[in-house]
Structure 1
Amino acid sequence: MIASISSSQTSKFMRNTYLLLFFVFLFLPLTMVVLFAFNDAPYPMPPWKGFTLDWLLANGENGRTGLWFDMELRDSLWNSLIIASAVSICAVLVGTANAFLMERSEFRGKVLLSSLMLVPLVIPGVILGISILAFMSRIAQFADNSFGMELEFLRPGLPLIAFGQFAYIASIATLTISARLKRFDISLEEAAQNLGASRSTIFLTITLPYLRPALLGAAAIAFLLSFENFNTTYMLTGSDAPLTVLMYGRMKEGATPVINAISLVLMLLSLLFVSVSMLKKPEQT
């Protein structure tokens, strides 16, 4: 709405009401999760039975095991962190290489390759997971039958989960870095080259600093997408379950407020991450 155009009281009321309802719809479920992480009851839902920290700190006494002492939940959190870290690093490295390939090179089939790179983004996660599982299992079975080689990393487990997530997250990282590289003034590199700088020096001192915001952004996006992924991850999970799969299994079996407690911790970490990003000094243009 243009500031110079006055609006009626009815319009202001409807706008404010809409905003209020929108934010209530958005934050009320999260508020309930936070609230009942401290509920002194063996179920993660109303009614309120009193305040307790058992679901965070209980060590098994009185039949309650809090998040801090729930080794299965902590192991699954660690698995998710390992997978997300590996996927984000690989996605940024491959995404950077892809960005330079697409933006700096001319070759036959470039348009087709660019289109194929987007295919994993439109395939449902379940279908992607099933396809990767069937393909990798077939390769592992062939290697075992033909050469007696046991390729465990192609079986359901953490390596296969990381590979499955990488299959589509790498495309997102490529698009993020390509958008930044496309705006780069290549005359800066040409000027440095005319002054005698080597290719590696040009890349490390000119190109890489310019791409740093996109690289950090792509890494953050890749990490968060990997950490919260469920559909593809569920299809590729072996004996070591990541956090999302374990939480889903516990919800099916009958959840306790420990699920609310881990959700609270994840929300606080996300809030900290966003706060640090917002406090970062704005980039000079």
Structure 2
Amino acid sequence: MIPTIPQPALLKALWTAYVAAFFVFLALPLAVVAVFAFNDSLFPSLPWQGFTLDWFFGDTRPRIGVFHERPILRAIGTSALVAACVSVLSVGVGLSNAFLFNRYRFPGQGLLYVLMLLPLVVPGIVLGISILVFSSRIANGLWDIAQWDIDALRPGLALVILGQFSFIATIATLVIGARLQKFDHTLEEAALNLGASRLTAVRTVTLPYLAPALVGAFVVAFLMSFENFNTTLMLVGSDAPLTIAMFDRLKEGSTPLLNAVSLLLMLGSSLLALVMIAFQRRG
């Protein structure tokens, strides 16, 4: 609907109702999860039994809270470690890719760009299976030929980082490249004319301009890695990230503890998003 074009009142009402229903559809499940994180019951369902903080701070069974549940805390730490590694790698490679596709022209550039985008259209579970099969064959081949057993090629955190990095780096490239396209190249040329080297000009002129995009790409990569499930499920070893740990808990039966974890994740994601928005506005 275009606001500048007069519309019948009925159409405006229907449009408003549609938008409201859309946001209710998105927000209602999250609100339900948040509310039942405080339900004084062993089951996250009606009827409401009263308000409690046991699912956050409880230290006796069966009401062990998030902050006293060591497997969950360990899984959160594992997810944070994986997300940090994936984010650093993705931003570094994304920055290089952005310069490559924006500053240079070479044969096969279009094909290379399409190949870079390809992981975004491949289902995550297919991507995970492909990486697992490929790495396992390499590991088995090295063992058969030279008796080398490389743990990084077996299911585990190294393979999880590699699997997530394979498609998150593409998103980081698009985020950084979009800002680099708006950069005024004459600013670099002015620095070069004043005696700066090419590397110094990029470090002192271009990178500060790209700082909001770098922070945004890091935050997006961190959140995508932290909540990834499909690819991680195929590549995980004994150290399970949070999404896999929660999935294993759900197979045993849902409890308000999982609601509490979900609420903390929503708050953490919202906080990171607000930090990113504030940094980009300042930049």
Structure-1-length-normalised TM-score:
0.93
1:10-49 matched pairs, under 5 angstroms:
10-49=10-49
1:112-131 matched pairs, under 5 angstroms:
112-131=111-130
1:60 and 2:52 matched:
no
Matches of 1:3 and 1:189 in 2, distance apart? 41
Residue equivalent to 1:204 = 203
Residue equivalent to 2:226 = 227
Matches of 1:182 and 1:54 in 2, distance apart? 51
Shift of 1:276: 2.9
Matches of 1:84 and 1:155 in 2, distance apart? 19
1:1-285 matched pairs, under 5 angstroms:
7-61=7-61, 63-280=62-279, 282-283=281-282
Shift of 1:66: 1.1
Matches of 2:239 and 2:23 in 1, distance apart? 37
Q: Secondary structure at the match of 1:139?
A: helix
Matches of 2:158 and 2:222 in 1, distance apart? 16
Letter in 2 for 1:169: I
Deviations 1:154-196 (A, max 9, x none): 1111110000000011111112212221222212212211221
Matches of 1:5 and 1:136 in 2, distance apart? 57
Shift of 1:4: 5.9
Matches of 1:57 and 1:22 in 2, distance apart? 35
Shift of 1:282: 2.6
Q: Which moved more, 1:25-34 or 1:15-24?
A: 15-24
Matches of 1:210 and 1:135 in 2, distance apart? 39
Deviations 1:58-113 (A, max 9, x none): 1124x221111111111111111011110010001011111111111222211111
Letter in 2 for 1:201: T
Q: Which moved more, 1:198-207 or 1:19-28?
A: 19-28
Shift of 1:227: 0.9
- Name the count of aligned residue pairs: 283
Matches of 1:36 and 1:124 in 2, distance apart? 32
Q: Secondary structure at the match of 1:38?
A: coil
Matches of 2:2 and 2:109 in 1, distance apart? 44
Letter in 2 for 1:153: A
Shift of 1:280: 4.0
Matches of 2:63 and 2:266 in 1, distance apart? 23
Structure-2-length-normalised TM-score:
0.94
Matches of 2:20 and 2:119 in 1, distance apart? 37
Instruction: Please provide the CA RMSD for this pair.
Output: 1.7
Matches of 1:155 and 1:2 in 2, distance apart? 54
Q: Summarize the Cα distance change of 1:3–1:170 in structure 2 as closer, same or farther, 3 Å threshold.
A: closer
Shift of 1:12: 3.8
Matches of 1:276 and 1:121 in 2, distance apart? 26
Unaligned ranges ≥5, structure 1: none
Letter in 1 for 2:37: A
Shift of 1:279: 3.8
Q: Which moved more, 1:178-187 or 1:69-78?
A: 178-187
